[in-house]
Amino acid sequence: MIERFTDNARAAIVSAREEACALGGSSIDAGHLLLGLCHEDARDAPVLAAEGLTAAGTRARLAALSGRGPAAPDGYLPFTERVKSVLFQAEREALGRQHPSISAAHLLLALMSLELKAGAAPPGSAQAPPDAVATLLSDQQVEAATLHNRAAAIAHTESAGQSFPFLGADLTAVARLPGRWQRWSRHATVLAGYAMLAVVAILPAPPDRRAIATWLAVIVPAAALILRRAVMRGLYRIRLAKPDAERIAVPGLRTALAAAGLLEVTVICVPRGRLTGRSAAVSRRDGRDGMIFLRPEMKRAHPDLTRFLMAHEAAHLARDDTSTLNVAVTCLVGLGIVAEVTSLVNLWLLAPALLGFVALRWRSELACDRLALRAAGWLPGDQFLAYRARADAAWRRRPRPERLRAQVKAMLSHPPTSVRRDAMARATEKIQPVPGTPGDQQASGQPTGPG
């Protein structure tokens, strides 16, 4: 495991050992490790210093808590059991996010994860007593959850070699994005289903209506597709021209999606869900241009969840689900007009067409969940499931008519959270670590889901 540590992680451990010796400690405990991380924090992104945890202040507080003893000889100092737990948890934090190495940010993530777990334990449970880290955080009035989120953002950034949205070459190396023939095969499947239902409606019709219905079956979907693309493109351009739309260049994501035929990929943050609706993120592909719309508060407060959402929407762009959806919607419109022209009895054909449309959307969402799980890791997947569970709980508190209407509307485009959780659990069971290939490390383990 030590071989996977980055230079700053090793330097933090060395600093922790030196501080333990200087403070007269007989072992390296969690407080010394936090002090070592303070040294590395001052050199890189100031996560701890921003919350008031500096090396000088932390050292003085540790000396006051434990009392300064005689300087320890320059020799071997063992790790305490808690520090050993932090080291193994750091490896788990890196593997669970598909990161090839363990940095100082992962050590801080592991330390804060154990603090959060200890703080969430019910009273009277078998739990390690509060250590110096808990006391230091309490003295500075710093929440472990805040440090955890900020450390996660740093860990993602270091892994991707770029800033937000924390995705780069790992997307193509791990996720195995679909190729062009797979994208076109979905369009062909939708058109084949539409052609079969249209033939069922046209053949029994009288000859005079049969010719008109045949022409409408071809012209209406094509015209509706062109009109829909033009209207949606105009609406998005008008909205994106407003000053509150924040554009973020993502060169790593653009490089990763170049194999899917995308020349430009942009992340756009628009406040108050004006382009995302109730979703946290949505995507749109227009030819060779891809856009991902994200709520600004997501990238600031939920780095793990943001990573999963970005991988999910990137999968939509790679699959070109925007074009598939446009074809499916225009085919539904064409089938409705053909049924009305031939015979109103043929309106029953809209039922299987609608079921096929829902099945298409569900398959698309589940496929993107699997791709995002492979690219982002199962720890961000857990965050996504917990986010969905919180959203479902919020809707269950609404009045019953409003809740049922919202659930029916949501199920037309997205499968229930329970279905997504089961599908992601099965996908996670197939992901195993690949020794010797850090760039293709697969996170093993089972998503814990909400709670």
pLDDT in tens, 162-218: 666 567 666 766 657 777 788 889 899 999 999 999 999 998 888 888 889 999 999
Q: Which two tokens stand for residue 432?
A: 């195993």
Q: What's the pLDDT at 179?
A: 75
Higher local confidence (pLDDT), 167 or 271: 271
- Mark whether 204 and 333 lie in a shared domain: yes
User: Amino acid identity, residue 416?
Assistant: P
Q: What is the average per-residue pLDDT within 14-41?
A: 90
- Mark whether 327 and 229 lie in a shared domain: yes
CATH number at residue 7: 1.10.1780.10
Give me the count of residues in the chain. 451
- Mark whether 176 and 157 lie in a shared domain: no
- Mark whether 142 and 180 lie in a shared domain: no
User: Amino acid identity, residue 204?
Assistant: P
Is the residue at 119 inside a domain?
A: yes
The answer on pLDDT for 324 being more than 70 is yes
- Mark whether 285 and 351 lie in a shared domain: yes
Q: What's the pLDDT at 407?
A: 82
Residues 6+ apart with CB under 8 A from 377: 95, 96, 97, 98, 99, 307, 443
Distances (CA, A) of 15 to 11, 27, 34, 73, 324: 6, 13, 10, 15, 55
- Mark whether 316 and 262 lie in a shared domain: yes
Is the residue at 137 inside a domain?
A: yes
Q: What is the CA radius of gyration of the chain?
A: 27
Is the residue at 262 inside a domain?
A: yes
- Mark whether 19 and 107 lie in a shared domain: yes
Residues 6+ apart with CB under 8 A from 303: 149, 152, 153, 156, 166
381 and 346 in contact (C-beta within 8 Å)?
no
Is the residue at 166 inside a domain?
A: no
**What residue numbers bound the domain in which 62 lies?**
2-161
Q: What is the average per-residue pLDDT within 100-110?
A: 92
- Mark whether 253 and 386 lie in a shared domain: yes
- Mark whether 235 and 115 lie in a shared domain: no
Is the residue at 359 inside a domain?
A: yes
Q: What's the pLDDT at 99?
A: 87
Higher local confidence (pLDDT), 435 or 231: 231
Q: What's the pLDDT at 415?
A: 92
The answer on pLDDT for 129 being more than 80 is no
Domain count for the chain, please give it. 2
Q: What's the pLDDT at 33?
A: 93
Q: What is the average per-residue pLDDT within 289-310?
A: 85
Sheet hosting strand 281-286, strand order edge to edge: 246-249, 264-269, 289-294, 281-286
Q: How far apart are alpha carbons 38 and 57 in whole angstroms?
A: 10
Query: Which of 97, 130, 161 corresponds to the end of one domain?
Result: 161
- Mark whether 200 and 155 lie in a shared domain: no
Is the residue at 447 inside a domain?
A: no
Facing residues of 246 across strands? 269
- Mark whether 93 and 198 lie in a shared domain: no
Residues 6+ apart with CB under 8 A from 83: 28, 29, 30, 32, 33
Q: What's the mean pLDDT when you consider all of the chain? A: 83
**At 441, is the pLDDT very low, low, confident or very high (cuts 50, 70, 90)?**
very low
Place of tokens 């953002």: 153
Closest CA to 286 of 231, 368, 249, 331: 231
Q: Which two tokens stand for residue 40?
A: 């590395």
Is the residue at 451 inside a domain?
A: no
Closest CA to 31 of 93, 77, 90, 80: 80
Kindly report the backbone phi and psi dihedral angles of residue 437, in degrees, each rounded to the nearest multiple of 5, phi listed first. -130, 80
- Mark whether 415 and 287 lie in a shared domain: yes
The pairing of beta strand 289-294 with beta strand 264-269: parallel
Is the residue at 422 inside a domain?
A: yes
Q: What is the average per-residue pLDDT within 411-426?
A: 91
- Model pTM? 0.85
